[in-house]
Structure 1
């Protein structure tokens, strides 16, 4: 079965085709970084308009790359939430219209489920069950994953997520958009240990996260009497290390709590080199293993949506034809249920 995946939750237009027998056939991604850079962040209306412009072209391109025709597509999976309402509506409308025109099923997919399952697309995929650390944009969550749709929340951010903290701290330091990757690049040039930054909720006794206080601590340093711009890289390194140490400690605590040794890390922050090195070393010492998506699939992309849709179809979910277009800008991952034989 060949599944077309469409991702338009925020500022990246992703389209892909996944074949349940042959694997990922093609995927294309257009980033809106240049479009939003002048504003220092995503402008929702501009994002929606750009999705409208890009989506038809990308759909044609992935079909061409896969050596298929539009008539060869068996189902369409699309991001229905969470995300920006206008951006989600673009992808949902196109997907449902295409499915109706072709008489094939359409499946609304949870954006975070796409991220969570994306490491299964790698050459060495993890096996269920595992603990997942989701660090994507405004989400930082630890989940116990027993199978497709079988997710239990172990802990989550109570204020700023890790990705938000990276972006906001980058803005405090005067770095450009997108801030997270630029802050990580700056941190690689610095030496940690100069500044004593907090590790929020490190000893809270639960698996929740909080990073707003860490961002404020950075602001206090920059506004302090002893601050020198020459310390910028060192401050970035100390900030990054504080985030990574909290993420690592909570992930290990989650594995201990549920009695597992396999950790899956997914989402944009999962591409952070310092986080990967720290988690790899920590799990190796405990006889465990960390799995990540392929680097190209860490960001929002259509491949993860096509794959999540294909996994649900393979597990028995039928999707629906001629469904009313519905999106869920706010959609807790724990509300998902395992695939069933009825229409979603």
Structure 2
């Protein structure tokens, strides 16, 4: 119980403005980088420069809402009540929170609480598409990215993702905008776990943006090609995934071997997806290489003249080699006295392309 209270108290100490005071809430979010902005940078829905210009007031966001955002705002408190009826500890939340290690890393979770001794957050989404975890719409909209950033900022390690699909039949139902109708009686609720590797990527993006914003605020220009930077970041991401995949493959291979050793001496099976051929370790008769030996004593006894001629020839060859080595040494020693060096002629040669991509090591950013 004490640990849970400590988690809540720590998070409360990092709470900022509520969206009930929207002007103050927006102003506080302008000072850092939020989950929505990290998502848009990650998915290339915006560029670093565009976001810097927005933060520094060089560009104005004219979007003031539409029927889709209005519907989301209408449904969010309703769905939050459903969540709290199932998870009483997970209370609705409207404030912006700051990360413990950097107050400019920001997030606004839809709910916060301690469930089974673990700090958790919630994210509520509505839409005309199936936006459950793992669906194409969920991935393309970056809802998983947003949740990872919210967990990184708050310190939570689980996020309750609440999604509701509507019928897209927009009708005048007495509100400021036309409204659709929910397709289900209750929303879909799914737990999303914290992904450390992905969050490291998001941290790199956040740091790069904050550095660019600071530089721009001081009149400095951090010039780089956004498109090339995106490709480089993708390489780093895929490299991390490749490393994880290699470890997973090695673990699966080891588990397969252990299962086969325990159950089969020999196996051959084929499914629609995979073919396995296995033979356990053991012993087998192997014919070695033939051993060839010459009875040299008998050969010399039976053919002394041939043996003598062979020995004399070998001795002559060895003596000739020794004389050649001596002469070569004397020649090289004299050659040094007659050697001159002329600079080589400059000519064009082909060179290979060179490309390296490494992650940038950045210092921890201060609040």
Q: Relative to total residues, which structure has the larger strand share, 1 or 2? A: 1
Q: What TM-score does the superposition give when structure 1 sets the normalisation length?
A: 0.25
Q: What TM-score do you get using the length of structure 2 for normalisation?
A: 0.24
Greater length-normalized contact order (CA 8 Å, ≥ 6 residues apart): 1
